[in-house]
Amino acid sequence: MSRTATRDDRTVDRETGPAARQLVPPPKLRRRPALVAAAIGAICLGALLAAWAWTATTNTQEVLVARQNIERGAVIEADDLARVRLSTDPALNPVSASELDQIVGQRAALDIAEGGMLTPASFTNEVVPGDGHSVVGVALTPAQAPGLDLRYGDTVRVVVTPAQDEELPAGAPLVNDATVVGVHVSDETGQTVVDLLVPEADAGVLATRIATGRIALVLDSRER
């Protein structure tokens, strides 16, 4: 009788024992669609940013820009230019920074604003004066020059202003047409010195008139 009782005490209840606890199903995970959508959006955004960064990096180019204003006709110096790396549109046809040595010494073909990017149309190696032309310099007082600042390419007329009762040579023109190819202020006299491009045949007569000091410079229309 006692042995039977001992075996009964050691009997394991199948409903409450370890085997029963192993059959309990795992808890169900709660799905959060908003978090999944946010994660997908973050991945897509990262991919777009990476693609943009790669494109921006591969399209950058070191080009030449004007460090300061360069007037048309001025000789381009190395100090006038700066190298910068920009993301440029190929349609702009910028001048590569590697061409700096070839650009220095040439003349600006047009006005280049400070920070402006150089293109092949920005400069020229045209020689001044060209064949059949001469450059004549004239120092002007404020009374002889226009009030407006003269610029490269301006069309002007040199008008003779004879003294009272002065007789001019018969048939000599009172006006010479010219083109401004340089302007600077003399450090010694403070006068404005203008370089005028004229036909070679007119250079001698014009220089003689300028030497008398009895001339005036007239600025004609800048409309083209």
SS3 per-residue string spanning 110-160: CCECCCCECCHHHEECCCCCCCCEEEEEEEECCCCCCCCCCCCCCEEEEEE
User: Do 89 and 140 fall into the same domain?
Assistant: no
Domain carrying residue 116: 60-124
> Among 40-44, 89-93, 118-122, 165-169, which is the least confidently predicted range?
165-169
Is 90 exceeded by the pLDDT of residue 77?
Answer: yes
Which of 25 and 125 is assigned the larger pLDDT? Answer: 125
Residue after which a domain boundary falls, among 75, 101, 124: 124
Which of 1 and 23 is assigned the larger pLDDT? Answer: 23
User: Do 110 and 144 fall into the same domain?
Assistant: no
Is 70 exceeded by the pLDDT of residue 88?
Answer: no
User: What digits encode the pLDDT tens for the residues 182-210?
Assistant: 888 888 888 889 999 999 998 998 898 88
| 208 belongs to a structural domain | yes
| 7 belongs to a structural domain | no
| 17 belongs to a structural domain | no
pLDDT computed for residue 199 by the predictor: 93
Instruction: Identify which of 204, 202, 217 has the alpha carbon closest to the alpha carbon of residue 138.
Output: 217
pTM comes to 0.54
User: Do 107 and 139 fall into the same domain?
Assistant: no
| 184 belongs to a structural domain | yes
User: Do 115 and 93 fall into the same domain?
Assistant: yes
Percent of the chain with pLDDT over 90: 21
pLDDT computed for residue 5 by the predictor: 47
Residue after which a domain boundary falls, among 124, 142, 157: 124
Residue 33 is classified by DSSP as H
| 202 belongs to a structural domain | yes
pLDDT computed for residue 4 by the predictor: 46
Q: Which two tokens stand for residue 4?
A: 């039977």
User: Do 175 and 205 fall into the same domain?
Assistant: yes
Q: Report, in angstroms and rounded to the nearest whole number, the Rg of the chain calculated over CA atoms.
A: 43
User: Do 96 and 64 fall into the same domain?
Assistant: yes
CA distances 108 to 37, 56, 118, 136, Å, are 58, 31, 10, 21
Q: Which two tokens stand for residue 6?
A: 């001992």
User: What digits encode the pLDDT tens for the residues 18-65?
Assistant: 555 555 566 655 566 666 667 777 787 777 777 666 555 556 788 899
pLDDT classification of 94: cutoffs 50, 70, 90? confident
pLDDT computed for residue 42 by the predictor: 77
Residue after which a domain boundary falls, among 86, 104, 124: 124
| 173 belongs to a structural domain | yes
In whole numbers, what is the pLDDT of the chain averaged over residues?
Answer: 78
Angle subtended at Cα 198 by Cα 197 and Cα 201, rounded to the nearest 5 degrees: 145
User: Do 105 and 72 fall into the same domain?
Assistant: yes
| 40 belongs to a structural domain | no
Which of 30 and 103 is assigned the larger pLDDT? Answer: 103
User: Do 153 and 204 fall into the same domain?
Assistant: yes
| 31 belongs to a structural domain | no
Residue 74 is classified by DSSP as P
125, HSE (Cβ side, Cα atoms, 13 Å): 5
Domain count, the chain: 2
What's the mean pLDDT in 155-183? 78
User: Do 103 and 67 fall into the same domain?
Assistant: yes
What's the mean pLDDT in 3-29? 52
Instruction: Identify which of 55, 57, 76, 54 has the alpha carbon closest to the alpha carbon of residue 67.
Output: 76
Q: DSSP letters of 172-194?
A: --SEEEEEEEEEEE-TTT-PEEE
pLDDT classification of 82: cutoffs 50, 70, 90? very high
pLDDT computed for residue 52 by the predictor: 62
* Contact status, residue 63 vs residue 96, Cβ threshold 8 Å: yes
What is the spatial distance between Cα 118 and Cα 108, in angstroms, rounded to a whole number? 10
Residue 106 belongs to domain with CATH number:
3.90.1210.10
